[in-house]
Chains A and B, each alone.
Chain A
Amino acid sequence: NAGVTQTPKFRVLKTGQSMTLLCAQDMNHEYMYWYRQDPGMGLRLIHYSVGEGTTAKGEVPDGYNVSRLKKQNFLLGLESAAPSQTSVYFCASNLAGGSSYEQYFGPGTRLTVT
């Protein structure tokens, strides 16, 4: 059971370049999320998905797009990277249903945009 995995672990982009971050989970979780973590600001939700083929905006969605074509994968795309998107990105997942189910997090992707 690998849990939640993220690819890549590190990436450096130039302003205007695009990239896709991949998140995969093998726990059959319905819900998946993308967060960004910046110093002093905790975790901020970018987008989330409550099931295959569905996505929704979180707190800070601008400049990002997502897709959930398969239940186990959740992709985060940056179409035209900006220095303000320099951050650590975390993917998470959890079971649907009652409130007692916790989120499981991936190890993170450190992105630098120059």
Chain B
Amino acid sequence: GDSVTQMEGPVTLSEEAFLTINCTYTATGYPSLFWYVQYPGEGLQLLLKATKADDKGSNKGFEATYRKETTSFHLEKGSVQVSDSAVYFCALRKTGNQFYFGTGTSLTVIP
């Protein structure tokens, strides 16, 4: 069945460090891929998305490229800030009602 696997955390980085959070997926057909972010005490918010192979989603300095050949959608940021501390979820959706979420990766950025 369809699924999303993302790297386990927690991840702790110093401010201005480079961030990568790995995400791979299993799905038939052509899903859309998403990264959501959850700040403490809040709901999930869409961070970025890509709807077809080779698309790059970007927002707030974060980027992820939809790689069909490696079935991956890794999240990257060149220089993290303390305010980026949150839990990050990778997700996929195919046509229809079902979304599939990864288990989330907690990121803490220290000054």
Indicate with 1 or 0, residue by residue over B30-47, a CB within 8 angstroms of chain A CB atoms: 111010100001111110
B99 neighbours in A (Cβ, 8 Å):
33, 94, 103
Q: Smallest Cβ distance from B54 to chain A, in angstroms?
A: 15
CB neighbors of B among A52-88 (8 A): none
Q: Smallest Cβ distance from B76 to chain A, in angstroms?
A: 20
C-alpha spacing A92/B98, complex, angstroms: 12
Q: Smallest Cβ distance from A89 to chain B, in angstroms?
A: 10
Is B103 engaged at the interface, CB distance under 8 Å to the other chain? yes
Number of chain A residues close to chain B: CB under 8 A: 25
B77 neighbours in A (Cβ, 8 Å):
none
Least CB separation from A31: chain B residue: B97
Interface pair A99/B104, CB less than 8 Å apart: no
Interface pair A42/B51, CB less than 8 Å apart: no
> Among the listed B32, B42, B46, B103, which residue makes an inter-chain contact with A108, where contact means beta carbons less than 8 Å apart?
B42
Please report whether the interface of chain A is mostly helix, strand, loop or mixed according to DSSP.
loop
Is A48 engaged at the interface, CB distance under 8 Å to the other chain? yes
Q: Smallest Cβ distance from A79 to chain B, in angstroms?
A: 25
Interface pair A42/B44, CB less than 8 Å apart: no
C-alpha spacing A106/B31, complex, angstroms: 24
C-alpha spacing A48/B100, complex, angstroms: 13
Pairs A–B under 8 Å by Cβ, sample size 29: A4-B43, A31-B97, A42-B89, A42-B102, A42-B103, A43-B101, A48-B97, A50-B97, A90-B44, A94-B99, A96-B97, A98-B95, A99-B30, A99-B32, A99-B51, A99-B94, A99-B95, A100-B32, A100-B49, A101-B93, A102-B46, A102-B49, A103-B44, A103-B93, A103-B99, A105-B36, A105-B43, A108-B42, A108-B43
Q: Which 8 A-B pairs have the closest CB atoms?
A: A42-B103, A105-B43, A99-B32, A100-B51, A105-B44, A43-B101, A107-B43, A102-B46
> Which A residues contact B (CB, under 8 angstroms)?
4, 31, 33, 40-43, 48, 50, 90, 92, 94, 96-108
